[in-house]
Structure 1
Amino acid sequence: MLQHLTQALFPLLSLIVLGAVLGRKTDFFDGKALSGLVTTVGVPALLLHSVLSMELGIVQMGNLVGLTLAWLVAMALITAAVLKLAGLPVRSYLPALVHPNTGNTGIPVCLALFGPQSIGLAMVISSVIQVSHFTLGIGCLSGRFSLRALLKNGPVLALLAGAGLLAFDANLPVPVMTTLDMLGAITVPIMLMQLGSSIANLKLSGARDMVRPVAFSVYRPLGGLALAWVLLLVWPLDGLQAQVFLVQCAMPVAVMSYVLSVRYQGPSKDIALMIPLSLAVSLGITIAFALA
């Protein structure tokens, strides 16, 4: 049992720590170039290759997308009610508490726990969350919706392309699939190291009120997991799909929420503190899945 747990978490934690060290000691993660490479090339290639490689038809894929959307709507409504009861600004905190880090944390966690066959499923869920970042996230924090940004989003386009190919039962040539596989292989390690670098360089000196960030850090993964479990009772999925869905919904506060909060003058200090705290809670959930 201990060996299985170590094997599942060691690569994940090692790359996060390596990213934290490199983020402190080097300028490898400075600027937008590396992040842009992953977003515009690596993630779309990984998503398209994973969707076309997994044994998941268009109906099953639509079912997973539909359940993820239902979870997002329910999570947003419940969180909005919680924030109103707490007397806090809904638009400022809602995106961070709703959106899990399904990308640079969730995908590697699913890979470690369930193997390569889970990547496609994790990527489908992550793509839906990314769409929500550009709709619910930016809409809440800025007060406006950017259709142009959504249509230029590489993972969204890759998801649509994969769905179209699955719908027509079309296969890409082997050399093209190999190219997508090679491009996608850069994605997970870089995302993990970027996460480590982001956490290591967060400036938390202004976060004096610890009660609220700690409470939200527990709410984000545990609330997401509980809601996912309830939804699966009325909208069941197959074994692996259900496991991946539960894990993805239990991921920590997304780094993207911090980035958007800084850009649109949101509560960035609180959200910065919530990222590492909620990550600790999510890793505890991951350990429970590994031991199960």
Structure 2
Amino acid sequence: MNLALTVMNITAPVFLLAAIGFVWVRVGFEYRVEFVTRLAMTLSVPCLIFMSLMKTEIDPQALATISLASLAAYAIVMMVFFVIVKIGRLDTQTYLAPLIFGNTGNLGLPLALFAFGDVGLGYAVVVFAVMAMLSFTIGIWMVAGAGSFTRILKEPLVGATLLGALFLWQGWETPLFLSNTLDLIGQIAIPVMLITLGVAVARLETKAIGQAIVLSVAKVAICVAAAYGAAIYFSLEPVAAGVLIVQVATPVAVTSYLLAEKYGADAKPVAGLVVVSTLLSVVTLPLILSFVIA
């Protein structure tokens, strides 16, 4: 009973904030997703990442280890879904990237914070950064046939990760007035991302729901297994292992739909995957959390 209440207290704020965004647009209020997303990804999320890394008390070696574990987990997921897509005769351009990359930003970061505190958030931003780097390179190559390895260096979240890691390694700290400012900006990130997730789900037009259900269930099972295997192989401590499993098992990201639209893939099945996997996560993420925090 106590475990169930703990899990509910962790997940309820996440899904309630997403529900606010969903209801907001359903009743006809305006919400500029492009502006809010740009604000989050170029300003508030980088501030959150930098401050989380600078203030974390995690050993730099532990952060390096979870980085390697993240790469290993995503490599496993990538190989398994490549085989599944080929066997199922699905369009690689449409299906492969969404099945690999999850919503580690909008859902993963707040869940890690609520479940594991500031230490968990420190681990989570590393997994998020690894996923983002892979998504901006290999992920774009999968969808568009051409990856941008130079574009990644221009992404603010990558710069914030590298700068935060440098400050952590050297034991540096920004002046108090600047730390307070960056903290305030970073606090925007989590609620804004969750509300935007709800808005995006409310606006998506879905297709191939039956297939989306099967693939979404397969995604959860394969991602949990891959992350668990990577955590065991790299001997991650319990909090790091829990964060890795939750992050890798997050549902299909809305950005997968946006990339499909941008690069000419079939966007409607991707929208179906986003909606179905996100709704499924209302059940699966609490179950995963109950497993990793038990």
TM range (shorter): over 0.9
Aligned mates of 1:72, 1:4 — CA distance in 2: 29
1:189-233 Cα distance to aligned partner (Å, 9 max, x none): 0000000000011112xx2x3332111111222210111112222
2:31 aligns with: 29
The one-character-per-residue Cα deviations of 1:101-154 (angstroms, maximum 9, x if unpaired) are 100011112222223331121111111111112111111111112234212211
CA distance in 2, matches of 1:11, 1:94: 31
Partner of 1:83: 85
Structure 1 equivalent of residue 269 of structure 2: 270
After superposition, where does 1:174-193 map in structure 2 within 5 Å? 174-193=176-195
Alpha-carbon distance, 1:26 to partner: 4.8
Unaligned runs of 5+ in 2: none
Task: Name the structure 2 match of 1:258.
Answer: 257
User: Where does residue 165 of structure 1 map in the other structure?
Assistant: 167
Q: 1:212-231 maps to which residues of 2 (within 5 A)?
A: 212-231=211-230
Taking structure 1 as reference, are residues 203 and 89 closer, same or farther at Cα in structure 2, changes over 3 Å only?
A: closer
SS of 1:29's partner is coil
- Is the CA contact 1:100–1:221 (under 8 Å) kept in the aligned structure 2? no
Distance across 1 between alignment mates of 2:19 and 2:186: 22
AA in 1 matched with 2:145: G
Residue pair 2:108, 2:247 contacting (<8 A) in 1 also: yes
Q: 1:48 Cα deviation (Å)?
A: 0.4
Give a deviation string over 1:232-270, Cα, whole Å, max 9, x none.
Answer: 221111111111111111110011111101111212111
| 4+ runs deviating over 4 angstroms | none
Structure 2 counterpart of 1:129: 131
Q: Residues of 2 paired with 1:280 and 1:233: CA distance?
A: 29
Could you give the per-residue CA deviations for residues 32-51 of structure 1, whole angstroms, max 9, x where no partner exists?
Answer: 22211111110000000001
Q: How does 1:90-169 map to 2 (within 5 A)?
A: 90-169=92-171
In structure 2, how many angstroms separate the alpha carbons of the residues matched to 1:145 and 1:184?
29
Q: 1:5 to 1:65 in 2, by over 3 A?
A: closer
Question: Helix, strand or coil for the counterpart of 1:119?
Answer: helix
Residue 28 of structure 1 deviates from its aligned partner by: 4.2
Partner of 2:71: 69
User: Deviation at 1:16?
Assistant: 0.6
1:41 aligns with 2:62: no
User: Which consecutive residues of structure 1, in runs of 5 or more, have no partner in the other structure?
Assistant: none
Residue 48 to residue 26, structure 1, CA distance change in 2 (3 Å)? farther
Deviation at 1:289, TM superposition (A): 4.2
Q: 1:140 to 1:263 in 2, by over 3 A?
A: same
1:24 deviates by 2.8
Aligned CA RMSD, in angstroms, stands at 1.7
Aligned residues: 289
Output the CA distance in 1 between the equivalents of 2:273 and 2:147. 25
**Distance between the aligned counterparts of 1:119 and 1:190, measured in 2?**
17
The one-letter code of the counterpart of 2:154 is K
Letter in 1 for 2:18: I
User: 1:22: Cα distance to partner?
Assistant: 1.6
Aligned residues with identical type, % of pairs: 28
Secondary structure at the residue paired with 2:90? coil
For 1:127 and 1:173, the matched residues in 2 are separated by 25
Per-residue deviation, 1:168: 2.4
Q: Give the distance between the partners of 1:235 and 1:89, measured in 2 at CA.
A: 34
The residue matched to 1:203 in structure 2 has which SS? coil
Q: Are the counterparts in 2 of residues 100 and 253 from structure 1 also a CA contact under 8 Å? A: yes
The letter for the 2-side match of 1:275 is: V
Structure 2: distance between partners of 1:31 and 1:166: 33
Give the AA of the match of 2:152: L
Could you tell me which amino acid in structure 2 is paired with residue 170 of structure 1?
W
**SS in structure 1 at match of 2:226:** helix
CA contact (8 A) 2:56 2:118 kept: no
